[in-house]
């Protein structure tokens, strides 16, 4: 019934989880907001491969009957160097183009990439080098909040108190 989400609470909760995942994925990546549908597809791909509270197995395992490998999972939006098949490629032409991981290919064992410099923008390839380490270490938002001193001086609350020094381990 329209306007009654309480009648379909399981689906509504799954939708809310997907939207939160998409929001988180987009906030950690520097990709255009127009790629939200790619983030949504990847979020659904991930959710189908994690166990749920209701069922001890993965949804993928229940549907297909076998456990999927999770070794190919990547961070959404991470930079990568993508090799695209080009039969007209010359010996001295560049072999890769820069792109960003945006998902998994649906009908092959490959990945989907957003390549702003490429003519088709979204390309599929299996041959790639993910730069996840640089992506994770470069986006540490709390790195600047760590004090570099080994102590902090706290001013007195009134004129009769003395200066308090707090040592940081």
Q: Is 115 helix (H, G, I), strand (E, B) or coil?
A: coil
Q: What is the DSSP letter of 58?
A: B
Quick: pLDDT tens for 27-49: 988 899 999 999 999 999 998 88
Structural contact between residues 80 and 131, judged by C-beta atoms closer than 8 angstroms = yes
Distance, in Å, from the CA atom of 73 to the CA atom of 137, rounded to the nearest integer, reads: 18
pLDDT cut 90: percent of the chain above it:
37
Distance, in Å, from the CA atom of 69 to the CA atom of 58, rounded to the nearest integer, reads: 12
Structural contact between residues 26 and 33, judged by C-beta atoms closer than 8 angstroms = yes
Return left, alpha or beta for 69; rule: phi > 0 is left, psi -120 to 50 is alpha, else beta: beta
| pLDDT, position 167 | 52
Quick: pLDDT tens for 69-82: 778 889 999 999 99
More confident residue, 165 or 20: 20
Of residues 43, 48, 38, the one with CA closest to residue 24: 43
| pLDDT, position 75 | 92
Neighbours of 19 (CB within 10 A): 13
pTM: 0.72
Segment 91-120 shows an average pLDDT of 90
Of residues 164, 168, 84, the one with CA closest to residue 124: 84
| pLDDT, position 140 | 47
Distance, in Å, from the CA atom of 52 to the CA atom of 14, rounded to the nearest integer, reads: 11
Which of 3-7, 95-99, 136-140 is least confident?
136-140
């Amino acid at each position: 019934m329209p306007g009654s989400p309480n009648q379909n609470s399981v689906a509504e909760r799954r939708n809310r989880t997907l939207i939160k995942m998409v929001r988180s994925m987009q906030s950690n990546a520097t990709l255009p907001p127009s790629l939200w549908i790619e983030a949504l597809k990847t979020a659904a791909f991930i959710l189908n491969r994690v166990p749920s509270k209701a069922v001890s197995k993965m949804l993928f395992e229940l549907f297909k009957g076998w456990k999927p490998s999770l070794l190919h999972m990547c961070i959404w939006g991470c930079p990568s160097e993508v090799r695209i098949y080009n039969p007209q490629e010359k010996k001295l032409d560049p072999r890769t183009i820069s792109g960003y991981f945006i998902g998994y290919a649906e009908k092959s064992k490959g990945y989907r990439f957003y390549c702003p410099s490429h003519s088709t923008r979204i390309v599929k390839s299996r041959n790639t080098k993910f730069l996840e380490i640089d992506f994770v270490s470069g986006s540490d938002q709390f790195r600047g909040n760590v004090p570099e001193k080994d102590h902090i001086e706290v001013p007195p609350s009134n004129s009769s108190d003395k200066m308090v020094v707090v040592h940081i381990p």
